[in-house]
Copies of this chain bind each other. A is one copy, B any other.
């Protein structure tokens, strides 16, 4: 179960509110690279963790709980960036708006409205919501928790890698020193979280734990296809040479090679459509109704 502290994990300050930056920050809240995703992902991995001990459940709970605080920081940052954003398309009422002036340099506030997420004006009353920077709501199918610990750790590395890429892009896009400061903290946490899940992978055996899942008897797979790069160039031009085309495989169980892909199966033939299945009569091989 869970507790809270009213204060934020790290200070969130905005000197020059910018509603377009509020929009961009939404990606870090409700985007697939964002914090709702990692928060729920680590929680569901923890809550479903099966294994000899509760070690990984335990570890995951710490970081999942930390992530709630990151959503909170970003939601606060969005609300602060929306302070005094224009509510209207009309010029006169917003002309003297200091936010518009600071950010737009005297241009028409209408332009600022054009770049905003309309739901910041219309649906949230100038606050964050769980959607991405183009307004698409977060959808929990992105919460990856496979029941396989190693697969999940790779999913977590991925999430923190795309998450740090996003945070870096936001850092580069930001013009406010408070926002840059907040992002420099979140970027550091993403650095640690990348490390953390990779450390868990190392603990679980690293490359020796491959292929995932390592609980399947590999003698049951068609092993002649387990370490071969299949080329699909129409004229048989081989793929570029790389670590993946030659030499020992990373799990130490095979040798990489290259082969041109070719059909081993036949052209498939399905049975005709059945009477009563709603197909055209020709697909069934019967006369059309009334025909």
Q: State in angstroms the CA–CA spacing of A135 and B7 once bound together.
A: 35
Q: State in angstroms the CA–CA spacing of A151 and B123 once bound together.
A: 11
Q: What's the least CB distance linking A146 to chain B, in Å?
A: 5
Q: Are B270 and A49 in contact (CB-based, < 8 A)?
A: yes
Instruction: Please give the count of copies of this chain that the complex contains.
Output: 6
Q: What's the least CB distance linking A216 to chain B, in Å?
A: 4
Q: Are A147 and B277 in contact (CB-based, < 8 A)?
A: yes
In the complex, which range does the number of interface residues on chain A fall in?
35 or more
Question: Which residue of chain B is the closest to A235 with respect to CB atoms?
Answer: B5
Which residues in B have their C-beta under 8 angstroms from that of A50? 79, 125-127, 270-273, 279, 283
Query: Which of A62, A71, A264 is most buried by chain B, counting CB atoms within 10 A of its CB?
Result: A62
Q: Are A282 and B221 in contact (CB-based, < 8 A)?
A: no
Which residues in B have their C-beta under 8 angstroms from that of A54? 6, 267, 269
Q: Are B173 and A89 in contact (CB-based, < 8 A)?
A: yes
Q: Are A204 and B168 in contact (CB-based, < 8 A)?
A: no
Q: Are A199 and B243 in contact (CB-based, < 8 A)?
A: yes
Which residues in B have their C-beta under 8 angstroms from that of A277? 87, 125-126, 147, 169, 172
Known contacts A12-B268, A283-B50; is A243 also within 8 Å of B157 by CB?
no
Q: State in angstroms the CA–CA spacing of A77 and B63 once bound together.
A: 22
Interface residues of A in 74-88 (CB under 8 A from B): 75-76, 79-80, 83-84, 87-88
Q: Are B135 and A137 in contact (CB-based, < 8 A)?
A: no
* Contacting residue for A169 out of B11, B224, B278, CB 8 A: B278
Q: Is A205 in the interface zone, CB < 8 Å from B?
A: yes
Question: Which residue of chain B is the closest to A116 with respect to CB atoms?
Answer: B114
Known contacts A87-B169, A147-B125, A207-B198; is A2 also within 8 Å of B68 by CB?
yes
6 other contacts beyond A59-B239, A187-B222, A218-B290, with CB at 8 A cut-off? A84-B271, A111-B114, A114-B114, A126-B147, A130-B140, A194-B210
